[in-house]
């Protein structure tokens, strides 16, 4: 019997097992930056953080003031009991967050706290465990409060808060333009990087060669955006002032929400004296 291939058999080149060819990434740093940029764009594209529906919403400027007071208090206090009290207060506030929001908060807070502790880890051998523990506790409490503010405040609230606190218009406007154009420039940079990785056939002599073109183009694009934006601002009757969106009036109980922190601050001052 001869080993003749039948008519229904596939040709030999199709029967041979596939040899997977490994696609070598010509610019791994571009790919890594693309991933970072995509993550940033996803974060910017998401709607405002889901604020738990409670009847009492603090006005944006009170939230900002509370954050400032809290951070200052934590930085100043060297009494473990007071700090514990502040941590409990934050814990109670965290209970109101939605589960998904809480998970996001925990992930971000644990990561940033770990980074902070790693930096001061050598003090364990220099000054003993007390400094490391104390520093780690205070820093993680500060980070938790800042993270809570980020999780519960959207960008518009931040701008409104700054405006109510009489921040200069130039700064608020610059901030508002920056956040809007961060997304647009980020998109443009991502598209340029994708185009580069798709169209580059031969590997560049040095990865840095692309940087000049990437960011040079991005700057020129920013300049074009600035000209267009100014024309649009003028067409809409821009008068140099940032228009504050209508906000609810501040009530006495809003100010009352600051009272625990003010009381603690007063206690701290008199205790010292």
Closest to other proteins by CB, 89 or 225: 225
Kindly tell me the sign of the dihedral angle through the C-alpha atoms of 189, 191, 197, 202.
Answer: negative
What is the DSSP annotation of 148-214? Answer: HHHHH--HHHHHHHHHHTT--HHHHHHHHHHHHHHHHHHHHHHHHHHHHHHH--SPPSSTTHHHHHH
Closer to other proteins at the Cβ: 150 or 262? 150
Rounded-to-integer distance, Cα 241 and Cα 30, Å: 40
In the complex, least distance from residue 244 CB atom to other proteins, rounded to whole angstroms? 18
Residue 58 or 74 with smaller CB distance to other proteins: 74
104: left (phi over 0), alpha (psi -120 to 50) or beta: alpha
Beta carbon of residue 226, minimum distance to other proteins (angstroms, whole number): 4
Helix, strand, or coil (residue 49): coil
Q: How far is the CB of 45 from other proteins (least distance, A)?
A: 14
Q: Which helix (H) or strand (E) holds 259?
A: helix 259-272
How far apart are the C-alpha atoms of 120 and 126, rounded to whole Å? 10
* Cβ-contact 65, 158 below 8 angstroms: no
Nearer of residues 16 and 42 to other proteins, judged by Cβ: 42
Q: Select 223 or 255, whichever has its Cβ closest to other proteins.
A: 223
For residue 151, what are the contacts with CB-CB under 8 A and spacing of at least 6? 49, 97, 101, 104, 105
Give the nearer residue to other proteins in terms of CB position, either 5 or 80.
Answer: 80
CB of 157 to other proteins, least distance (A): 11
Closest-CA residue to 149 (of 86, 68, 55): 68
- Residue 4 Cβ vs other proteins, minimum distance, rounded to whole Å: 56
Q: How far is the CB of 147 from other proteins (least distance, A)?
A: 7
């Amino acid at each position: 019997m001869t080993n003749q291939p039948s008519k229904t058999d596939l040709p030999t080149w199709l029967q041979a097992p596939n040899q997977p060819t490994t696609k070598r990434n010509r610019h791994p740093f571009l790919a890594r930056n693309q991933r970072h940029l995509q993550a940033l764009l996803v974060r910017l594209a998401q709607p405002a953080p889901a604020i738990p529906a409670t009847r009492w919403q603090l006005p944006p400027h009170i939230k900002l003031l509370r954050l400032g007071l809290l951070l200052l208090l934590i930085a100043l206090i060297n009494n473990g009991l007071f700090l514990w009290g502040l941590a409990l207060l934050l814990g109670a506030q965290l209970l109101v967050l939605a589960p998904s929001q809480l998970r996001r908060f925990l992930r971000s807070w644990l990561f940033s706290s770990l980074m902070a502790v790693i930096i001061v880890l050598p003090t364990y051998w220099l000054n003993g465990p007390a400094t490391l523990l104390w520093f780690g506790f205070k820093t993680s409490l500060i980070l938790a409060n800042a993270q809570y503010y980020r999780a519960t405040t959207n960008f518009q609230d931040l701008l409104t808060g700054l405006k109510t606190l009489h921040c200069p218009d130039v700064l608020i406007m610059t901030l508002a333009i920056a956040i809007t154009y961060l997304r647009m420039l980020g998109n443009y940079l991502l598209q340029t990087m994708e185009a580069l990785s798709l169209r580059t056939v031969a590997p560049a002599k040095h990865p840095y060669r692309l940087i000049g073109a990437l960011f040079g183009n991005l700057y020129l694009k920013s300049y074009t955006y600035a000209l267009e934006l100014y024309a649009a601002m003028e067409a809409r009757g821009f008068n140099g002032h940032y228009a504050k969106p209508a906000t609810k009036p501040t009530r006495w109980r809003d100010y009352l929400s600051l009272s625990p922190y003010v009381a603690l601050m007063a206690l701290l001052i008199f205790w010292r004296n």
